Structure 1
Amino acid sequence: MGGPVAGGARGAPIPVDRSVPGLIVKFGDYPLHHGGVGAIRSLGRLGVPMYAIAEDRCTPAAVSRYLRQAFVWPTAGTEEPERLVEGLLGIGRKIGRPTVLIPTDEEAAVLIAEHQDALAARFLFPCVDAKLPRRLASKQGLHELCAEHGIPSPTGVFPQSYEEIERFAERARFPVVAKNREAFERRSRPAVNGTTRIADREGLLRLARGWGERPGVVLQEYLPREDAEDWIVHAYFDTESTPLAMFTGVKVRSWPPHAGMTANAYIVDNPELADIAARFIKQIGFTGVIDLDLRFDRRDGQYKLLDFNPRMGAQFRLFENEAGIDVVRAMHLDLTGRPVPEGEQLAGRRYIVENIDLAALLAYRRSGYTTPHAPARASGTELAWFAGDDPLPFLTMLARFVRPGAKHLHQLWRARRSATAGRT
C-alpha cells in the first residue's frame, strides 16, 4: 500500500499510509468525548481519511474538519454483540476499503477482540488473545492478573452477598473505595457511579442494600491522597508485546476530584514506571494500545495499578514524542506495515480539558492538595477541545455543555438557598 509522507509535529516526516482510513468506534451515549476528537485530529492532520460513529450529527466529533463522514448510530452499549458486529460490518462496507479500528471505550475494545474472525475481513486492529481485554477491563480480572504476575494493586475483596459485605464491614478499615466489578454490564445497571469513596460502616451498609443479592462491586483499600500520587502510562505494543511508543505522566487534577477523568496532566519521565508496565504487558502477552492508571503509595514506595484500559485513553493526546508520534499514530503505522519513528517523549508537556479543569482546580485548592512531580512551567500545552485549525468541536462542546451545566448550577443554587432559609 502506498501513500505520500506527511509531516509530524516536529517537522520530521511521518511515513503514514493515507490509503488506509481510521474509524472511531464507540458504544454508548456520551457525545462530549474529547478522546475521539483527538484521534480524528491526530490522524486527520496527517491526511488519513477519518470516520466516526456518533450519537447524532451535532456532536463535537461529527463536526471536525478532519472527519470524512460521521455514521449516526445511537447505541446504549447494552445491545447484543451480534447486532453491534453486524452494524460495524455494515459501516465497513460503506467505507469500502480496509480500515483501522480505534475503540474509545471498553465495550468497543472487548467486542473487537472477541469477534476478530468476523471483523478481520474489513478492518485492521491488533490481534490479541480474545479473552484478555475483557479480563483486563474487569476489576476482578485485573486484580487476579496483578496477583499472578506480582504487580502491586490495592487490597480488595469481591463480595458475593450482602452477608459477606456485613462481615467485611465489621473488620474493614474505613474509608474504603467501591467500584463496579466489571467495566460494563450489558443487562444490569452499575452498582455505583464510578469510583465511590465510602466513609464508614453505616454508609457502606446503606449503599449495599441497593446492590441486590449478588453485588457486582469490588471493595478496595483507600489510598490517602496526602500519601499518594496519580500516574498514567500510555503505550502501543506490537505483536511481540514490544513497546513501539511508551509514555509516562502525572495526573495533576481529575474530575470528580481524585477519582474521575483526567482534567490536567503533564508528561513526566519515569523509567521505573515504564519498566513496570512493559514487563507486565510482556507477561500477559497484550498487543495494542493501553491506558493505565497507577497510584504511587508513599507509605510503602509501590506503584499500585488501579485501572487497565485496553484501548486509547481520552487524554492520549497529552503524550507525544519528538518524532510527532502518539499511540494512535503508532498503531496506524504498525498495522499498515510502516515503521514507527522513535524519539524521546516531550517531558513537561501539559494537557488541559477545558470544560472540567476549572471545577477541578477549585476543588483541589480547597483541599490543599498539590502534585509534587508537576513541573513549575509547561514546555507546551495541548488543549482537549480547542484547536485553531479545527474550532467547531470546541464550539459544539460549549453549546452542549454550558446549557445543562448552567441548569445544574442553578439547581444547586436554589437548593443551597432553600437550605439557608430553612436554617434561618
Structure 2
Amino acid sequence: MTRVPDNQSFIPVLLGADAATYSLARSFHEEYDVVSVAVSRLGAGPVANSRIIEVSRCADFDDPGGLVAHLTALGERFGDKPLLLLTSMDFLVRRIVQLRGQLEPRFTIPYVDLDLMERLTQKENFSELCTELGIAHPKTVVYDVPQHASLRQTLELDLTYPIIAKPGDTPAYHEVDFPGKQKVHTAASREELDDLMQRVHDSGYPGTFILQDMIPGLDDGMRILTCYSDKSGTVRFASFGHVLLEEHLPATLGVPAAIITGENHQVVQEAKRLLEHVGWRGYANFDLKYDPRDGTTKFFELNPRLGRSNFYVTASGHNPVRYYVEEYVEGSDLSDEPPLLESTKEELYTSLPVPLVLRYLPNDLRKKVIGLAARGRVTNPLMYVRDPHPKRWAYVMAFSVNQVRKYARVYPPPKRNADGTAA
C-alpha cells in the first residue's frame, strides 16, 4: 500500500477517485515527484494500486461533518506540512468552499469564495455576464423548475427546436435523481421539453434549467479553455484545446475524452476580459463551441476548477499544478513568470484508444490525429510509465476495452458523406 513519504515537503489532498483525480496526482508527481492522497468513499478504480497515490477511504465521504472529521485527522497526521486541498468535480468544489471555515488554515484552499463561485457557475448568471460584456454565447432562456406548473402553460420560447437543456445549478442537480437523467439533455419538441421539466420538477431539483440554442455540429465542434488567475485577479496562463470526442454515458455526457491542444488568442482574450472583470482567482475551465453559422466560438459555461480532462493542459507542455504550488504553497508572487503565458503545442490528449477516436472524425481531423500519433505526440492520462503496478495496468487495459464496447452501445459513429462531413 502506497504511503506519503515522511520527507515529502507538501501533500496534495484530492477529493475523488476518478480518472480526473488520477490525472491531478500524475501532474503533481511529474512536476514535484510527490505522492498525493486521494480521499473518497471506496478508493477504487483509477486511483487503486497506484504508486503515486495514497488512498484514504472515508466511509462518511458524502456527509460534510464526516468529511471534515476525516480531513482533520489527516491534517493531524501530517503535522505542519502544507496540505493543498483540490478536486475536479463541481459539487465537491462547492463543498470544500462551504467547509472552508472548518478546514482553513490547516488546509490551503485555492478556490474563490462561495458568492463569486455561484455568480459565475450558475449558468443563467454566466449568460447574463456574457451579454453584459458582449461575449459570444448561445441564445439562452432560463426555466425556473419550481414554477413548472405555470411555465408549461405560459412560457413562449424564442428558440428553434431541437434545443439544449441543462441544469443551471450543477451541484444541486448532482443531489437529485429521476428517470432518464443526463448531464445535458436535448429536447426535439415542446412536448419533449415539458416531459423533461416535469421529471426534473418531480425529483425535487430546486434550481433553474438553461434552455439554449443548439449550435450545429458534432463533438468535434466543441472547444475547451483553461485559465489561471493569480491572487491579484490577473490572468497569467491559458491553455486552449479542440475537442474531438466527448463522453456519452448519461452521468458524464459532454466531458471531453479526446482533445488536440493548440491556441486561440482571440478566445483567450475574451476569457481574460471576463475573468478580470469579476476578479476571479485560481483556475477556471470554459466549455465552448464553434458555430459554423457565423464563424464565432461561443462560451457555454465556466467551471470553477481544473476540468475533469485536466491532463490535456499538462499534455500541452505546461503543468497546471505548478501555479498552485508556487503561489499557494511557496508564496511566490509569480514575478518571474510571463505576464500571460498561452500554450501553443499541438498534442493529442485522449482517454480513449486512438483507433476508436478515429471512427468519429471527419477526414481533415483524421489526418491530423494520424499525423500526431505517427510522431508519438499522444498522451493518455492513465498510461503513466512511472506508475507500473501490474494490477493498475490491468485496470487501464480493461478500461480501454470497455470504452470501445461502451461507445459501440451508446454512441455509434455518425454516418458521413464521401468527403467526410456528417451525413
TM superposition score normalised by structure 2:
0.78
1:249 corresponds to 2:235? no
Match of 2:48 in 1: 62
Aligned to 1:212, the other structure's residue is in SS state helix
Matches within 5 A, 1:83-122: 83-96=66-79, 97-122=81-106
Equivalent residues of 1:254, 1:360 under 8 A apart: no
- Distance of 1:253 and 1:403 partners within structure 2: 16
Matches within 5 A, 1:201-280: 201-212=190-201, 216-225=208-217, 229-256=221-248, 260-280=254-274
1:142-192 superposed Cα distances (whole Å, 9 cap, x missing partner) = 223323433332222222314324544676410001111211227533684
Which amino acid in the other structure matches residue 308 of structure 2?
Answer: A
Identity of aligned residues (%): 22
1:419 aligns to what?
none
Matches within 5 A, 1:241-390: 241-256=233-248, 260-320=254-314, 325-335=318-328, 336-338=330-332, 339=334, 345-354=343-352, 361-362=358-359, 364=360, 377-378=371-372, 380-390=377-387
State the 1:287 CA deviation: 0.6
2:176 alignment counterpart = 188
* CA offsets 1:21-45 (integer angstroms, 9 cap, x no match): 111123xxxx4x2221111111123
Instruction: Name 1:395's counterpart in structure 2.
Output: 394
Q: CA RMSD in A?
A: 3.6
2:165 is the counterpart of 1:178: yes
Counterpart amino acid of 1:230? M
Shift of the 267–178 alpha-carbon distance from structure 1 to 2, 3 Å rule, reads: same
* Corresponding residue of 1:140: 124
Q: How many residues align?
A: 383
Q: Residue 48 of structure 1 aligns to a residue in which SS?
A: coil
C-alpha distance 70-268 of structure 1, shift in aligned 2 (>3 A): same
Instruction: Report what 1:36 is aligned to.
Output: 21
Give me the whole-angstrom Cα distance separating, in 1, the residues matched to 2:220 and 2:381.
26
Larger CA deviation: 388-397 vs 306-315: 388-397
Structure 1: distance between partners of 2:256 and 2:247: 7
Compute the TM-score of the two structures, normalised by the length of structure 1: 0.78
Of stretches 207-216 and 57-66 in structure 1, the one that deviates more from structure 2 is 207-216
| In 2, Cα distance between equivalents of 1:310 and 1:200 | 32
Q: CA deviation at 1:109?
A: 1.5
Cα deviation for residue 127 of structure 1 reads 5.5
Map Cα deviations across residues 230-249 of structure 1 (whole Å, 9 max, x no partner).
21111221111223322111
In 2: Cα distance, 1:127 partner to 1:407 partner = 34
Decide whether the 8 Å contact of 2:237 with 2:342 is kept in 1: no
> 1:50 deviation in Å?
1.5
2:419 counterpart residue number: none
Gaps of 5+ in 1: 1-16, 413-424
Q: Secondary structure at the match of 1:89?
A: helix
Pair 1:98–1:75, CA change in 2 (3 A): same
Q: Residue 398 of structure 1: CA displacement?
A: 4.4
1:341-380: per-residue Cα shift (whole Å, max 9, x none)?
Answer: 556625211101127x765654x35xx5965996773262
1-structure distance, mates of 2:409, 2:292: 40
* Map of 1:53 onto structure 2: 39
Structure 2, unmatched stretches of 5+, are 1-6, 412-423
Query: Is the CA contact 1:349–1:381 (under 8 Å) kept in the aligned structure 2?
Result: yes
More displaced, 263-272 or 387-396? 387-396
User: Does the Cα contact within 8 Å between 2:239 and 2:342 map onto a contact in 1?
Assistant: no
**Aligned position for 1:3:** none
Contact 1:253-1:360 at 8 Å conserved across structures:
yes
Question: Take 2:14 and 2:400, find their aligned partners in 1: how far apart are those partners?
Answer: 22
CA contact (8 A) 2:61 2:67 kept: no
Structure 1 residue 383 displacement after superposition: 0.7
Moved more, 278-287 or 398-407: 398-407
Give the Cα separation in 1 of the matches to 2:124 and 2:93: 18
1:381, CA displacement in angstroms?
A: 1.5
